[in-house]
């Protein structure tokens, strides 16, 4: 029983080279997509972290304003006098700084402006920020009604 050499099964060199080339192309495309997704995820994480910090700052400032006896506001600084002491919110070098009785407590980055305006008995807080990933401007605003002695 002898078999002819051309009857043997297997792949030719052309078929192997074609499959290797296709595998390399597909793998390269998948790695490129994975790298792009990783970069996008890092930017999204930075934006989410920044937004969380800004929301916390708005909540803290709202709490300070509700407890305020007096409020002095300028374009770069808001000083709130409460029964517990003075709290200053200052925008400096692109960051919002909160200090209590002169001691720095917290720093929140990428802040462009802070404003507090009286609207009747309430105060409107406006926090203008720049998103880290794409530098687009966001504006947070909140209307705060001070507590009265009866509601404390």
Is residue 94 situated within a structural domain?
yes
Is residue 4 situated within a structural domain?
no
Strands 103-109 and 111-119: unpaired
Is residue 74 situated within a structural domain?
yes
Verdict on whether the full-model pTM lies above 0.75: no
Is residue 8 situated within a structural domain?
no
Is residue 133 situated within a structural domain?
yes
pLDDT tens digits for 78-133?
888 888 888 898 888 888 889 887 777 788 888 888 888 888 888 888 888 888 77
Is residue 1 situated within a structural domain?
no
Taking all residues of the chain, what is their mean pLDDT, rounded to a whole number? Answer: 83
The number of domains in the chain is 1
In whole angstroms, give the CA distance from residue 129 to residue 47. 11
Q: Where do the H-state alpha helices sit in 11-150?
A: 13-66
Average pLDDT over residues 143-148: 75
For residue 133, give both structure tokens: 């990933």
Is residue 5 situated within a structural domain?
no
148: pLDDT strictly greater than 60? no
Domain that holds residue 40: 13-151
In three-state secondary structure terms, 117 is: strand
138: pLDDT strictly greater than 60? yes
């Amino acid at each position: 029983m002898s078999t002819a050499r051309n009857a043997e099964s297997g792949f030719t060199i052309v078929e192997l080279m074609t499959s290797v080339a296709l595998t390399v192309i597909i793998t390269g495309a998948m790695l490129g997509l994975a790298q792009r997704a990783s970069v996008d995820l890092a930017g999204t994480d930075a934006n989410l972290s920044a937004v969380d910090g800004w929301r916390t700052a708005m909540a803290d400032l709202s709490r300070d304003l509700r407890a305020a006896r007096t409020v002095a506001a300028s374009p770069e600084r808001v000083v709130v006098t409460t029964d517990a002491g003075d709290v200053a919110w200052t925008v400096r070098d692109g960051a919002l700084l909160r200090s209590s009785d002169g001691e720095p407590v917290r720093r929140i980055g990428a802040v462009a402006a802070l404003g507090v305006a009286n609207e009747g008995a309430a105060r409107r807080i406006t926090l203008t920020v720049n998103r880290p990933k794409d530098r687009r401007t966001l504006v947070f605003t909140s209307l705060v009604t001070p507590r009265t002695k009866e509601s404390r």
